[in-house]
Amino acid sequence: MRIDIVTIFPEYFGVLDVSLLGRAREDGILDVQVHDLRAFTHDRHRTVDDKPYGGGAGMVMKPEPWGEALDAILDLDATAGEVDARLPPRDAPLVIFPSPAGEVFTQAMARELSTAGHLVFGCGRYEGIDQRVFEYAGSRASVRLVSLGDYVLNGGEVAVMAMIEAIGRLIPGVIGNPESLVEESHEDGLLEYPSYTKPAEWRGYEVPPVLMGGNHGAIATWRRDAQLERTRLVRPDLLPPE
Ligand code: JCH
């Protein structure tokens, strides 16, 4: 999978080199490129923002640098298929803008996006990006506005980091044990069961005896019950209606 990120804080994404995803990048499974939006400005001050039309607090990101950045990234994509006519055409790129006004990011969306060939993430700052950028991007690619949740961040960078981590670990070869992916929280619509390791007793707290008894049927039942009880208490919205 190819991932392009456009941001005014490219250094934010340095951690991708050392995290879980660093290995996948070295192994050639993931190709992540970070682009500095200011590289697509032409004025002395490398301006990316301006006052909002109609007035109001804060600043809005200017469309011109975004247009040039998207052109540079998407033009490369258009020529990739022509390099070797025997190869199937590349997957259409998907451009994702984190936004408090977007559809909410879920595990189901992460799974869907993990099958994409090319994702482009546009990180806004200030009060957001001139609306026409989304319309232009939509004329050249599929576009989705995506929210990490119902709270306001200062920009798209942290949301993109979270999305790349959730998507990246679903790509075969990025995580060691594929079973740990289906078993864990949200893949089956329930919260995960509690986990324990040695020692069997720690500071007076004990491991539930059923987990140390070796009865795998009893363990599976205990874990399922624990999942259901936790979900009922903390996230009843996740349970199917009666
Ligand atoms: C963003 C902002 C609109 C502040 C600028 C770009 C995403 N789930 C989620 N929360 N917040 C974001 C997000 C994504 C991109 C940008 N900001 C700051 C944007 C505002 O209007 C109320 C206020 C926030």
Cα–Cα distance for residue pair 30/23, rounded to 1 Å: 9
Whether the Cβ atoms of residue 169 and residue 175 lie closer than 8 Å to each other: yes
- Give the model's pLDDT for residue 118: 97
Cα–Cα distance for residue pair 82/10, rounded to 1 Å: 30
What mean pLDDT comes out for the span 180-197?
80
CA of 121 to the centre of ligand 1 (A): 14
* 12-26, 93-107, 113-127, 162-176: least confident range: 12-26
Query: Which residue do the tokens 């306001």 mark?
Result: 152
* 84-93, 126-135, 159-168, 202-211: least confident range: 84-93
CA of 124 to the centre of ligand 1 (A): 8
CA of 167 to the centre of ligand 1 (A): 21
170 HSE (CA, 13 A, CB side): 19
- Give the model's pLDDT for residue 190: 97
pLDDT exceeds 60 at position 209:
yes
Q: What is the pLDDT of residues 88-123, one digit of tens each?
A: 566 789 999 999 999 999 999 999 999 999 999 999
Return the closest-CA partner of residue 34 out of 14, 10, 67: 10
For the Cβ of 148 lying below 6 angstroms from any atom of ligand 1, the answer is yes
CA of 154 to the centre of ligand 1 (A): 6
Whether the Cβ atoms of residue 61 and residue 48 lie closer than 8 Å to each other: yes
What mean pLDDT comes out for the span 49-57?
98
Q: Which of 127, 144, 152 to mutate to test the pocket of ligand 1 (most atoms within 8 A of CB)?
A: 152
- Pull the structure tokens for residue 85: 């006519």
- Phi/psi at 96 (nearest 5 deg)? -120, 125
Choice between 20 and 110, residue whose per-residue pLDDT is larger = 110
For the Cβ of 124 lying below 6 angstroms from any atom of ligand 1, the answer is yes
For the Cβ of 191 lying below 6 angstroms from any atom of ligand 1, the answer is no
Tell me which amino acid residue 92 is. Answer: A
For the Cβ of 154 lying below 6 angstroms from any atom of ligand 1, the answer is yes
Q: How many helices (H) and strands (E) does the chain have?
A: 7, 9
Q: Which of 66, 99, 150, 158 to mutate to test the pocket of ligand 1 (most atoms within 8 A of CB)?
A: 99
CA of 106 to the centre of ligand 1 (A): 18
- pTM: predicted TM-score of the whole model, two decimal places: 0.93
Q: Give buried/exposed letters for 131-144 (b at 16+ CB in 10 A, else e).
A: eebbebbeebbebb
Give the three-class secondary structure for 190. coil
User: In the structure, what pLDDT confidence band is assigned to residue 186 with cuts at 50, 70 and 90?
Assistant: low
What mean pLDDT comes out for the span 5-13?
98
Tell me which amino acid residue 222 is. Answer: W
Phi and psi based region of residue 104 (left: phi greater than 0; alpha: psi -120 to 50; beta: remaining): beta
* 26-35, 52-61, 88-97, 141-150: least confident range: 88-97
